[in-house]
Structure 1
Amino acid sequence: MTTYLWTPPEPASLPQRGSTVRLPVHRLFFVGRNYHAHAREMGVTVDKASARPFYFTKSPVHLLPGGATLPYPPGTADFHHEMELVVVLGRGGFQVPLERAHELVHGYAAGLDMTRRDVQLRLRDKGHPWCLGKDVEGCAVCGEVTPMPGVALNRGAITLEVNGALRQRADLADLIWSVPELIADLSQFYHLQPGDVIYTGTPEGVGPVAPGDRLHGRIDGVGEVELTVGSPER
């Protein structure tokens, strides 16, 4: 039995629809600019023929369950929502061929990649890593996981409302890189493990939120995610 100087935190985990057994989370991967319209609103274009997906990560300790209240974070005046399809892996793999990548899927969830946009863009323009803009406490929000073992989900409406007003709407068919393509590509760089989680990118319509705002996201056939933005901590 290992003795620690202090009690380690509980491992990050996610609820699973129809079960009391939680899913332990290993790593959080995020895909940037995976919808053409969102890439354009961020001032770039993506040519799939000559590009590959790009990724950033967040610490699993920043995972927040859907339905929670997230205090407006410090260090930003432009806190943005990004609605995303979340893939949870149930099997591991390394250098996985594209035609078998779907076999790693355990299930899917609706999630939010909350972002200090002003910080992210300032760092981007200086050529610095995005960590302070993206790896923000509580800013990897995720609803319950719907098990779909081995399913390569490739269509379904994805929407986000803020205070009842529609902000984001697209279809999973609009993804530049599909779920199998992302899994196969990531596996060229990592030994993927059960519990690895992939946020697959956000559609157009990202924008700021303020304390008191209520967010409600939905993906057809997958589930929902909710978030309340709280007051800044003092």
Structure 2
Amino acid sequence: MWAHCLLIVRIMAPMIRLLRVCDTDEKPSLPYVYEGMYRARLGIKKIFGKKKELYKPYTRIIKNRWDRMLRHDLHAAAYFFNPAFMYDQKNFSKKPEILKGMLNLMEKQKGSDRTKIFEGMTMYREREKSFSHSSALSCSKTTRPDEWWKFFGYDVPVLQKLAIRILSQTASSSGCERNWSVFERIHTKRRNRLEHQRLNDLVYVHYNLRLQDRFSKRKRSYDPIDYESIDKSEFG
């Protein structure tokens, strides 16, 4: 029994690490979902070595779930826009779905913007103009992806705007769920006759005051997610 328990723990550990990365509204986690899923599946393969007949059922379950519910163009685009992965030539994925996701997003832009985005993508990939600074490479893994684009994407403003918009997203509804909890505490049996707009205003003010108080007390900094050592982290 204990051998099976140990196997389950080793299989689930990579998935739990990915969930911990995603389940936060304090750090934009969308840029790490695609890479995190790849690491989770790779971690399972390492457990069983070359015995495909053993790890295939587990990776098939994850793949089916990923394909059906979580694989979107935004995940691929966020992976592409994350300089920590783009400039890691040894590990950056060359899968067609990454460029396909980018092209699908380009189709949603205005005609004139598509050309500018495509030109900007080439400059970003080849490290030209503003991306050629030595600090652009050295800061790629130590700076939040959206902040990195604010500093080094000035030569491609259209692509910069799109990248920041995507990289600033979280990958979880935790923030919304906390907001719903505030809503339930305000909309009580005694206060069930509040107008809808007034109720929304109260929730908005209350939740933002809590955020302001939390960040001022703890003085939290928005550090990038440390993917270099995430596999070594322990669960507290």
User: Which interval holds the TM-score relative to the shorter structure?
Assistant: under 0.3
Q: Structure 1 or 2: larger strand share?
A: 1
* Higher RCO (CA-CA < 8 Å; seq separation 6+): 1
Q: Which has the higher helix share?
A: 2
- Report which of the two structures shows the higher radius of gyration computed on alpha carbons: 2
The normalised TM-score by structure 1 is 0.22
TM-score by length of 2: 0.22
